[in-house]
Structure 1
Amino acid sequence: MEGRMSTSKAKHTRSAPLLVKASSSDETSLDANELFTDLKEKWDAVENKPTVILYGGGAIVAVWLASTVVGAVNSVPLLPKIMELVGLGYTGWFVYRYLLFKSGRKELTTDIEAIKKKIAGTE
């Protein structure tokens, strides 16, 4: 009998953290509502909505197409392993070229900054 009582007490004390988790999910839903209102405000501020919709649709189609291509490549028996070896080789080259030595890290940093300036249009 005592074993059952201690088990029921343990179950009772375990349920308390679940109540805390439930209240944190309420906070998450409030954050989601704020997110939706922010997105709605930004969408209302967009002037050229058809272009944004076209680009979004194009991005979705591109992701779907890439997924299809990757699935097709993955179905070829030996090709995924070869691609994995190519990826590992490129990763090793990148680490050796840009991350291993201080001069390479500095070059990578300047290249990244130049790309940021091109994207931002401040160049």
Structure 2
Amino acid sequence: MASASAATSFPTVGTLRSISQRDSISSVSAAWSRNAFSRNLAFSPLSITPPVYGRSLRIISMATGDTSDPSETVQNALKYVQDTWEKTDDKLAVGGLGFSALIVLWASAGLIGAIDKLPLIPSFFEFVGILFTGWFIYRYLLFKPDREELVKKLETALAKITGSEA
């Protein structure tokens, strides 16, 4: 079925030639367009919109693999949340922490929005970010001994986080 729909959705080069003749495109531009299209016939499967006479073909692709029902996944997640909620001893504290987290998230979003509206602050933070990125690249990524030092620091931090520190 996929081959039948693909055959009907893509015009052939012969169809394109008749379209170019019917639309009275000059022979030079028609030849150039046909040559450009024939080069695009071998486009990558990842290519989404190959050009055809200034227009684009829409290719719709779907990933195959996981065919599980999304509602089943949602039901499993809800069941997990319900089981965890039933096991919780101090439900008032958990509810208070959740409510506090929402308030902090709302306030921080408002603060960031207010800072973003100030005329010089976003540009200043961008400049500081660019400077820090340049320093980090110079300090840890440019030379091999510095990269090895960074890897050791990251491994040490990971060991501290996971608790596998010797």
TM surpasses 0.5? yes
> Residue 101 of structure 1: SS of its match in structure 2?
helix
- After TM superposition, where is structure 1 displaced by more than 2 Å over at least 4 residues in a row? 87-100
Residues 35/83 of structure 1: CA separation in 2 closer, same or farther (3 Å cut): same
Q: Which residue of 1 aligns with 2:119?
A: 77
Root-mean-square deviation (CA), in Å?
Answer: 3.1
Structure 2 residue 143 is matched with structure 1 residue 101: no
Q: Distance in 1 between matches of 2:157 and 2:137?
A: 15
The size of the alignment, in residue pairs, is 103
Q: Distance in 2 between matches of 1:113 and 1:96?
A: 26
Larger Cα-atom Rg: 2
Unpaired runs of at least 5, structure 2: 10-60
Q: Between the two structures, name the one with larger relative contact order (CA 8 Å, sep ≥ 6).
A: 2
Q: Which letter maps to 2:108?
A: A
Residues 91/48 of structure 1: CA separation in 2 closer, same or farther (3 Å cut): farther
TM-score (norm 1): 0.66
Query: 1:59-78 residue pairs with structure 2 within 5 A?
Result: 59-78=101-120
TM-score (norm 2): 0.51
Displacement of 1:81 in angstroms is: 1.2
Percent identity for Structure 1 against Structure 2: 26
Q: Which letter maps to 2:147?
A: F
Displacement of 1:86 in angstroms is: 1.5
Structure 2 residue 99 is matched with structure 1 residue 53: no
